[in-house]
Amino acid sequence: MRLQIAGAVIVLAACVGAGASLAGTPGAAFGLCAALAIGGALGCLFGRTPTHSARALLATLFGTAGLFLGLGSDLLAVTQLALGAGGALLLLSSAARQMPAAGEQHSLARGVASLLIVGLPTAFIAWRCVGVARFRQAAPPGPRAFSEAAELGVALVDPTRLAVALEIAVLLLAVALVAGAYFLGRARATRAETGGQP
Amino acid sequence: MSGLLPILCVSMTLFAIGVSCMLVRKGAPHALMGLVLILNASALNFVAFARLAQDPIDGTAAAVLVLVVALAEVALALAILMHLARADRE
């Protein structure tokens, strides 16, 4: 366990150092966030129990929030931390404790092979996307200095822009809330009928 | 960091790990965690490409909607799975 922690710290320091040598302080911040995100995702894939994976997912959520912050989307970073780290992770870890184990055999080779099979086509698609983006615009702009929360709020309620998308998202959330409450109520009724047996 | 390539590399890696997590691991919580990883990668792509196109608001709004819908999906799937697990135990 100590060896794993030491290895993770060394990889993290190497990523920060590489980013700092390439692009100074923003590069170091990017390296830290990227290493957190990818390391957490790998921990999520190779975690032995769902609880371990949920803890590793927390690092991914923090790293992704840092990347959003680096891109200038402060509202999205806060949303990611509040909803993702606060809500989804709590749900996942509590469900992992209550649900029975799947009884799977943990296989490192299987995970690495699947990662290669999925990763190579994805890398090719990303390479093509970068080519198209370079063709369209040679010099990408940097992040803006001010917060975009006010402009985003106006866009979300503007009927000609994103109001319909917001309404659809709200509808989906309402359906999910009602369905979740229905299933929980049904489970409680079943438990009451069986005299408190789970 | 300016440029699209570093962000796209991170996003691609997250997506690949998420898909692998959904394919390799059998448990439902792992599949849902893989789904969260995939949707995070897509939100990262939305923001990065919107920044490149000099219209960050649309990309950020799309990413916010992706995150919210993903959380609703995770919450509903967990409620259904817990209900099924409880029914199996009975």
Question: What spatial distance separates the first Cα and last Cα of chain B, rounded to whole Å?
Answer: 55
Q: Predicted ipTM?
A: 0.85
Is-contact A48 A60, C-beta < 8 A?
A: no
Query: Looking at the predicted structure, is the pLDDT value of residue B77 above 60?
Result: yes
| Chain B CB within 8 Å of residue A185 CB | no
Give the confidence band of A130 by pLDDT, cuts at 50, 70, 90.
low
pLDDT of residue B57: 75
pLDDT tens for B13-63 read 899 999 888 888 877 778 888 888 998 999 998 888 887 776 667 778 888
Is-contact B29 A99, C-beta < 8 A?
A: yes
Of A49, A125, A16, whose CA–CA distance to B13 is shortest?
A125
Is-contact A119 B16, C-beta < 8 A?
A: yes
Q: Which residues contact A83 (CB under 8 A, 6 or more apart)?
A: B67, B68, B71
The pTM of this model reads 0.72
pLDDT tens for A41-77 read 988 888 887 778 887 888 888 889 888 888 888 888 8
H-type alpha helices, A47-107: 50-70, 74-79, 89-98
Contact check, Cβ <8 Å, A95/B81: yes
Helix (H, G, I), strand (E, B) or coil at B53: coil
Q: Which residue of B has its CA nearest to A166?
A: B65
Contact check, Cβ <8 Å, A76/B40: no
Helix (H, G, I), strand (E, B) or coil at A137: coil
Of B89, B52, B71, B83, whose CA–CA distance to A185 is shortest?
B83
Measured CA to CA, the distance from residue B37 to residue B31 in angstroms comes to 10
Q: Which residue has the higher pLDDT, B74 or B36?
A: B36
Q: Which residue has the higher pLDDT, A85 or A46?
A: A46
pLDDT of residue A24: 75
